[in-house]
Amino acid sequence: MHKKHLHYKVVELSTVTDEALERVINDTVKEGWNLDGINFAMRDSSKRPTMAFVLFTKEETER
């Protein structure tokens, strides 16, 4: 019986633009990772996020 392991990957973006998010998501999904979510860090003085953490998962079978 093969055991499955869930692996996590977090990509930190300090420049939060639609182009940067698209690039990270598309490149990482091409590597076999699944997008799990995006968390944004905000400052009270700004309406735009200062950082983004893009979360991915990948299930691998141990042989």
- Can you spell out the DSSP letters for 4-58? EEEEEEEEEESS--HHHHHHHHHHHHHTT-EEEEEEEE--TT-SS-SEEEEEEEE
Q: How many structural domains compose the chain?
A: 1
Contacts 24+ apart (CB under 8 A), 40-43: 40/16
Residue 30 has pLDDT above 90, yes or no: yes
Percent of the chain with pLDDT over 70: 97
Confidence of residue 26 (pLDDT cuts 50, 70, 90): very high
43 versus 55: the higher-pLDDT residue is: 55
* pTM confidence score: 0.86
Domain with 8 in it: 3-62
Residue 1 has pLDDT above 70, yes or no: no
Cα 23-9-60 angle, rounded to 5 deg: 115
Burial of 15 (0-12, 13-18, 19+ CB in 10 A): exposed
10 versus 4: the higher-pLDDT residue is: 10
